[in-house]
Chain A
Amino acid sequence: MSKTLIRGAQVLGGEARDVLVDGETIAAVGEPGAALPADGAEVVEAAGHVLLPGLVDLHTHLREPGREDSETVLTGTRAAARGGFTAVHAMANTFPVADTAGVVEQVWRLGRESGYCDVQPVGAVTVGLEGKQLAELGAMHESAAGVVVFSDDGKCVDDAVIMRRALEYVKAFDGVVAQHAQEPRLTEGAQMNEGVVSAELGLGGWPAAAEESVIARDVLLAAHVDSRVHVCHLSTAGSVEIVRWAKSKGWRVTAEVTPHHLLLTDELVRSYDPVYKVNPPLRTETDVRALREALADGTIDCVATDHAPHPQEDKDCEWAAAAMGMVGLETALSVVQQTMVDTGLLDWSGVADRMSHRPAAIGRLDGHGRPVAPGEPANLTLLDPAYRGRVDPHRFVSRSRNTPYADRELPGRVTHTFLRGRATLAGGEPA
């Protein structure tokens, strides 16, 4: 059994501690220099570094099967390790769609083989993401993949009856429906947030109300059938208000926000550069402020990347012809540090909560999102918060480079990631 001694790290940003990993678990946590049984251990000098529980992403597009030109389970999980993640939820909009036990088991097995990160497949809510007929949710849950989170992400389950039935049906196995909230008729031809900038640019508008109206309906349905609904990539100030209201009622509603919605606004679209094209679209300064506050006060439960790799040709074109989405795994923690930690809105234990504990709890992932304490699984992320550097997409280990942060200076750098005691990232490079 291999041992690792992480020396002098600030656990959750607190006092410096030595942390001894033995095999797959945390063996001991002690004062710096304490006599831990570390003979033969590999030593990681971590003074000034912050040690967090391994990050958990509820929203990752790994693209395999079907679009291996943009990402594979292997390249995507390496990117996850580089970003400090030890578990990712692989979205269902692959080719074929992950709407059967067979496909989710394939993705789950590819994740196990990669070894860089646990891959928890998300199952489609409806067959082919068509929104017409429920997929075999029970079979996906019973499969080796043990699916708990179901989503038609990329498309909205817009039929109110189908949504109601899905919410009710997954109660049998404590599942959750993760909704991509987008009223389809209100967003036909939508290219960007509808507002001042879209009016000037002449790009089709994606109104905030198209998101908010679906979230409002879904929280009411979840309350009515007493089930769990999770709001994917919440992006507007109005959505925050609705989720806050639903939570005040005690309804079982959770929500995620993406790093890019915490940092970027639709003003960037003035460049017509499709790296800023994403769904839901970048919103306004007012929305960004509301999202940060909601993540800080817990109205928004967690950060999820919506890592969406695309090949270069799908972004190297005119705006309307470009694909929606941006990669995010390798920059997520840096963006959260800049927008939440460096602004004083959240401390590192808050980051551990929003990027590890809560997403793991929503996905019912045992073994992730655990405290950094003896006896717990050694899923750990070590970062250097003092680091400052420009984002260089050519250094990404993801197969795709469609980042909105190229050449932008972001703080913090993940140096080590441990998955059940094994270093999947060491010295900033996948191991």
Chain B
Amino acid sequence: MKRHLISAADLSRDDAVLILDTAEELARIADRPIKKLPTLRGRTVVNLFYEDSTRTRISFEAAAKRLSADVINFSAKGSSVSKGESLKDTALTLEAMGADAVVIRHHDSGAPHRLATSGWINGSVVNAGDGTHEHPTQALLDAFTMRRHLEPGTGGGLDGRRITVVGDILHSRVARSNVLLLHTLGAQVTLVAPPTLVPVGVATWPCEVSYDLDAVLPKSDAVMMLRVQRERMNAAFFPTEREYARRYGLDGDRMARMPEHALVMHPGPMNRGMEITAEVADSPRCTAVEQVANGVSIRMAVLYLLLGGASPGEAPAAGTSAAPSAAPSATLSAPTTARTEETDR
């Protein structure tokens, strides 16, 4: 694997499957009374968030803490950034503080790429969503969720599975990362949206594009509904909320036309009544909440593989071989760890 995770395109099939398999092992930790591993003890993970995103930030925070990393949350609001500090100076500051990994969420496409390639910092950079570019860990947790339901087990991808992504493709970093990753994993992706919300240039993407949701639903193994901001209406991307919901929203009738095994997915936060009705959102077929839980496992796997630097086999070993309270003795004294776990909770 590369040193950074900026784009889903950074991942080979082997990389992606390794992350999914590692997450599968790490997910078992979540079922234990003490949800913690000593793997990243002494390493520092900085959550550098230029955009409000409580969900993604706490997911990364939980993931890093379960691996015993020290976590620093740096929010642009109320910090030096709001006083006009440049990304470069913020990065140099974090570097001086010894960040081993920087998890960055930024409103501008390409900011994580800049951070990783400009020589400002030495640590790993994890893209937690940049502008309308990419959100690779979201795509990984989506693929993880799909694989659990559609292709249970480890070692494999999503070969031949048909995945439909519906909504504001143009402005969606989730869609871009999903198209790339799902293609890498062997799935066939179809994007569905009004033509105004599909980017010019989409023809080179490894996917199909349709403007007709009803035609695609019966052939879908999973249907991922993307959040559509109501404000898009004001820029004439679609005439009214109701017209959007009628043509591209997922309601009970439409869900009934999907194959029985097919999943309904949503990266959240949901716009109930817009792209998805409450009936669908609350149905057992909707994996939105499960996706959130899986997000922690995926982010643990990503941080582990980027920072652990150990061979693939060791992650599962760490998770399965011993109780978390016993494991720390290998490197640090148990009391220290115990205290850390106390304060972290």
Contact = CB atoms under 8 A, between A and B. Distances in A.
B86 A316 contact: yes
Contacts of A313: 86
B88 A202 contact: no
B11 interface: no
Interface in A317-348: 317-321
A319 B109 contact: yes
A104 B336 CA distance: 72
A82 B3 CA distance: 43
Interface in B132-181: 132-134, 173, 176
B86 A201 contact: no
A203 interface: yes
B162 to A, nearest CB: 22
A203 B130 CA distance: 10
B196 interface: no
B86 A200 contact: no
Interface string B90-110: 000000000000000011111
Given A201-B133, A316-B86, A272 B201 contact: no
B113 interface: yes
A298 B176 CA distance: 42
Interface string A202-245: 11110100000000000000000000000000000000000000
Contacts of A201: 109-110, 133
B201 A194 contact: yes
A197 B133 CA distance: 11
Interface in B73-90: 86-88
Contacts of A202: 109-110, 130-134, 173, 176
B315 interface: no
A199 B172 CA distance: 11
B200 A199 contact: yes
Contacts of A160: none
A342 B331 CA distance: 65
Contact of A200 (B106, B113, B131, B201): B201
Interface string B226-247: 0000000000000000000000
A196 interface: yes
Contacts of B131: 202-203, 320
Contacts of A14: none
A196 B130 CA distance: 19
Contact of B200 (A205, A273, A321): A205
Nearest to A194: B200
Given A199-B199, A199-B200, A207-B200, A272 B205 contact: no
A200 B118 CA distance: 21
Nearest to B175: A202
Give the one of B110, B113, B117, B205 with max A CB within 10 A: B110
B201 A196 contact: yes
Nearest to B115: A318
A195 B205 CA distance: 12
Nearest to A205: B200
A429 B88 CA distance: 34
A202 B202 CA distance: 11
Contacts of A196: 201, 203-204
B142 to A, nearest CB: 18
Contacts of A204: 132
A318 B114 contact: yes
Determine the interface band of chain A, counting residues with CB < 8 A from chain B.
20 to 34
B111 A318 contact: yes
Given A202-B131, A272-B114, A317 B88 contact: yes
A196 to B, nearest CB: 4
Interface in A372-431: none
B117 A271 contact: yes
A198 interface: yes
Contacts of A316: 86, 88, 118
B201 A199 contact: yes
B183 to A, nearest CB: 13
A321 B108 contact: yes
Nearest to A191: B109
A5 B211 CA distance: 72
A317 to B, nearest CB: 6
A181 B211 CA distance: 33
Contacts of A198: 199-201
A317 B86 contact: yes
Contacts of B87: 317-318, 321
Nearest to B176: A202
Interface in A136-177: none
A21 B54 CA distance: 73
B91 to A, nearest CB: 11
Nearest to B111: A318
A202 B88 CA distance: 21
Contact of A203 (B88, B110, B202): B110
Interface in B278-301: none
Contacts of B203: 196
A273 B118 CA distance: 9
B184 to A, nearest CB: 15
B201 A320 contact: no
Given A200-B176, A202-B131, A202-B133, A320 B108 contact: yes
B113 A272 contact: yes
Nearest to B179: A200
A234 to B, nearest CB: 21
B106 A318 contact: yes
Contacts of B88: 316-317
A321 B176 CA distance: 22
Contacts of B199: 198-199, 205
29 contacts: A191-B109, A194-B201, A195-B201, A196-B201, A198-B199, A199-B200, A199-B202, A200-B204, A200-B205, A201-B109, A202-B110, A203-B133, A204-B132, A205-B199, A205-B200, A207-B200, A272-B109, A272-B113, A313-B86, A316-B88, A316-B118, A317-B86, A318-B87, A318-B110, A318-B111, A319-B108, A319-B109, A320-B110, A321-B87
A-B interface, 10 closest residue pairs, ranked by CB to CB distance from nearest: A199-B201, A202-B133, A272-B110, A202-B132, A199-B199, A320-B108, A202-B109, A196-B201, A318-B111, A272-B113
Given A317-B114, A318-B87, 13 more contacts: A196-B201, A199-B202, A200-B176, A200-B204, A201-B109, A202-B110, A202-B131, A202-B134, A203-B131, A273-B114, A317-B87, A318-B110, A321-B87
